[in-house]
């Protein structure tokens, strides 16, 4: 896929979000699912040996195995969520041309993955998977709150209202930076600052994308369907601007200006991420 059309860009600028029916090719989605599956298998075998679980739940499908395992040991959710999945298939997924071509429409030919990427296994009725209303800007330091860094939210299974797709508030990104308060697990937009526009659900098919402006309020409500709504979210920005997130290392994924500094191998990606190396592109 090439970059976005002028119409799509205009929709995003006006509404603060955009849904793409198809973005990441099946081969990358399948490879990532396989990598996740293997990681779960390894964790399950280790937990079984340590006596933490009694059933490996080996017959369960990708959509349900984590529910069955997490029911025996809450460790599984923590081990499978966040920015710690860093295998070759995840690296290929985050750097695939199909995502970068679209990111380039917003940011230009030099693209930094800002380091905030997450794997999200949204389990039914699990408190940690209920993400309050927030702007992504709420999570970064002040110097990066206005930096253009669209989020690509990409489900690995079809995501709809029944299994916990995201919700967005159209046009509310035009309200600027909203005040966030700390809630139990996440940040929450201060009720006094909450936009009055009506929220809408944003269903996305497997391998499609919901692209979210970093000032667009969005949330993830609980669901009760017996399946895991697996998704990946990731963000891209100009390398010369601050990420406002010192806790995780960004990495250059495409560049006309610094072609030699693009992270092209999984080994290099791991070196940067594991050592939390923040390179300067000033
Ligand atoms: O995937 C989810 O459930 C929440 C994602 C989210 O809120 C985000 O990417 O900012």
User: With a 6 A CB cut-off, is 126 part of the ligand 1 pocket?
Assistant: no
Question: What whole-number distance in Å separates Cα of residue 180 and Cα of residue 135?
Answer: 9
Question: What whole-number distance in Å separates Cα of residue 128 and Cα of residue 149?
Answer: 25
Question: What whole-number distance in Å separates Cα of residue 160 and Cα of residue 57?
Answer: 26
User: With a 6 A CB cut-off, is 151 part of the ligand 1 pocket?
Assistant: yes
- Look up the CATH number of domain 10-24+84-274: 2.60.120.620
Question: What whole-number distance in Å separates Cα of residue 137 and Cα of residue 125?
Answer: 27
| Residue 163 confidence class, pLDDT cut points 50, 70, 90 | very high
Q: Could you tell me the two tokens for 153?
A: 């939210």
Q: What percent of the chain has a predicted confidence (pLDDT) above 70?
A: 100
Specify whether the CB–CB gap between 149 and 214 falls below 8 A: yes
Q: Measuring CA to CA, which residue among 160, 73, 151, 69 is closest to residue 118?
A: 151
User: With a 6 A CB cut-off, is 130 part of the ligand 1 pocket?
Assistant: no
- In the predicted model, is pLDDT for residue 203 greater than 80? yes
| 55 Cα–ligand 1 center, Å | 30
Question: What whole-number distance in Å separates Cα of residue 153 and Cα of residue 164?
Answer: 13
| Residue 1 confidence class, pLDDT cut points 50, 70, 90 | low
| 258 Cα–ligand 1 center, Å | 31
* C-alpha radius of gyration, the chain, whole number: 19
User: With a 6 A CB cut-off, is 19 part of the ligand 1 pocket?
Assistant: no
Residue 124 CB partners (closer than 8 Å, separation 6+): 67, 222, 223, 224, 225, 226, 227
Q: Measuring CA to CA, which residue among 188, 94, 177, 103 is closest to residue 141?
A: 177
Using the structure block, give the residue that is written with the tokens 């460790």.
Answer: 75
User: With a 6 A CB cut-off, is 98 part of the ligand 1 pocket?
Assistant: no
Mutational test site, ligand 1, from 137, 213, 218, max ligand atoms within 8 Å of CB? 218
Q: What is the DSSP string of 235-280?
A: EEE-TTS--S-TTS--EEEE-SS-GGGS--SHHHHHHHHHTT----
The number of residues in the chain equals 282
Q: Tens of pLDDT along 15-51? A: 999 999 999 999 999 999 999 999 999 999 999 999 9
- In the predicted model, is pLDDT for residue 84 greater than 60? yes
Question: What whole-number distance in Å separates Cα of residue 226 and Cα of residue 232?
Answer: 20
Statement: the pTM of the whole predicted model exceeds 0.85 = yes
Mutational test site, ligand 1, from 153, 180, 211, max ligand atoms within 8 Å of CB? 153
Using the structure block, give the residue that is written with the tokens 């791991």.
Answer: 270
User: With a 6 A CB cut-off, is 81 part of the ligand 1 pocket?
Assistant: no
Residue 3 is classified by DSSP as S
User: With a 6 A CB cut-off, is 136 part of the ligand 1 pocket?
Assistant: yes
| Residue 2 confidence class, pLDDT cut points 50, 70, 90 | confident
Per-domain boundaries in the chain: 10-24+84-274
Can you tell me the mean pLDDT for 191-204? 96
């Amino acid at each position: 896929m090439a970059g976005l059309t002028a119409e799509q860009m205009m929709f995003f600028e006006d509404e603060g979000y955009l849904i793409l029916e198809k973005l990441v090719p099946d081969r990358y989605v399948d490879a990532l699912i396989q990598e996740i599956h293997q990681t779960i298998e390894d964790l399950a075998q280790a937990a079984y040996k340590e006596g933490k679980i009694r059933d490996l739940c080996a017959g369960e499908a990708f959509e349900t195995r984590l529910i069955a395992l997490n029911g025996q040991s809450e460790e599984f959710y923590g081990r499978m969520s966040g920015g710690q999945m860093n295998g070759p298939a995840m690296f290929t997924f985050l750097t695939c041309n199909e995502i970068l071509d679209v990111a380039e429409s917003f940011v230009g030919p030099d693209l930094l993955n800002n380091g905030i990427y997450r794997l999200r296994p949204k389990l039914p009725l699990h408190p940690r998977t209920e993400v309050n209303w927030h702007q992504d800007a709420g999570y970064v330091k002040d110097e990066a709150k206005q930096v253009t860094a669209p989020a690509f939210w990409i489900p690995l299974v079809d995501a709809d209202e029944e299994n916990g797709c995201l919700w967005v508030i159209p046009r509310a990104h035009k309200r600027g930076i909203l005040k966030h308060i700390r809630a139990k697990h996440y940040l929450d937009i201060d009720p006094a600052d909450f936009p009055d526009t009506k929220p809408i659900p944003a269903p996305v098919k497997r391998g499609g994308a919901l692209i979210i402006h970093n000032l667009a309020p969005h949330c993830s409500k609980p669901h009760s369907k017996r399946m895991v709504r697996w998704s990946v979210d990731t963000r891209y920005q100009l390398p010369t601007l601050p990420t406002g997130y010192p806790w995780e290392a960004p990495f250059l994924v495409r560049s006309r200006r610094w072609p030699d500094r693009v992270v092209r191998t999984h080994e290099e990606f791991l070196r940067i991420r594991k050592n939390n190396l923040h390179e300067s592109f000033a």
